[in-house]
Copies of this chain bind each other. A is one copy, B any other.
Amino acid sequence: MNRHHSPVIPHVLIVDDAPDIRSSLCQYLKKQGLHTSSAADAAEARQTLSEAHIDLVILDIMMPGEDGLSLCRWMAANTEIPVILLTAMAADMERIIGLEVGADDYVVKPFNPRELLARARAVMRRHPATAFTAESRCRRFDKWIHNPKDQTIIHHNGSTVKLTSTENRLLGVLLDHPYRVLKRSMLLDRVMRREEKAYDRAIDNQVGRLRKKIEQDPSNPKILVTEWGGGYKLMAEVESTEAP
């Protein structure tokens, strides 16, 4: 479980002739901690592919000029870069899937950017050529920036606090699900190395320890809050960010 991935941030190329989709998608993925480029047509896409190191292509197949499908076929034949296809119509999608163009996944417009991101991650994770790690992402919450690679959190005033590895994992899971109550069993599952029989309340201890580091007043938690009878929840906006 402790795969230490490359610190390289994945670079996504978005190919779509609609400028609004290009920019909004770029913006969203950037905010989520990815690098992005965009191209308005297949020719531009080829250009970018030859110049930059691209880890994933998100490709709208309904484009003027060279068909998106032929670009997709070309990539499948000549590169290792995974492709996610976009199309406006579900009906077309079925036809296209039948064509076996070598795409790794398909999304129908209008899509939820979050879902697209999840699929992008899934595709990249599956793909040996791209080592994408959600674990190495830095995320901002409250007045802190979590740097999971260094096991540190950096306060807005500049001071740095070191986390232990368990605290680091715990914070990572909490940041994955802000505003949601996470049960002890779930946290135990993902955070602790438990030997079959685990003391159910080992997690309480870690929560308390993490509180001492991130809360202004650990006896009055504002960020890592207890839901009585439920579990714990992180009450803070979370935003992916570049390493500081």
Contacts and interface: CB of A to CB of B under 8 A. Distances in A.
A53 B183 contact: no
Contacts of A166: 228
A11 interface: yes
A222 interface: yes
Given A229-B165, A230-B80, A134 B90 contact: no
Contacts of A110: 30
Interface stretch (A44-52, A59-67, A200-208): A44-52
Interface residues of A, number: 66
Contact of A183 (B19, B36, B79, B119): B79
Interface of A: 11, 19, 23-24, 26-27, 30, 35-37, 44, 47-48, 50-53, 77-80, 90, 93-94, 97, 108, 110, 112, 114-115, 118-119, 121-122, 125, 129, 133-134, 136, 149-151, 164-166, 173, 176-181, 183, 185-186, 189-190, 193, 222, 225-230, 235
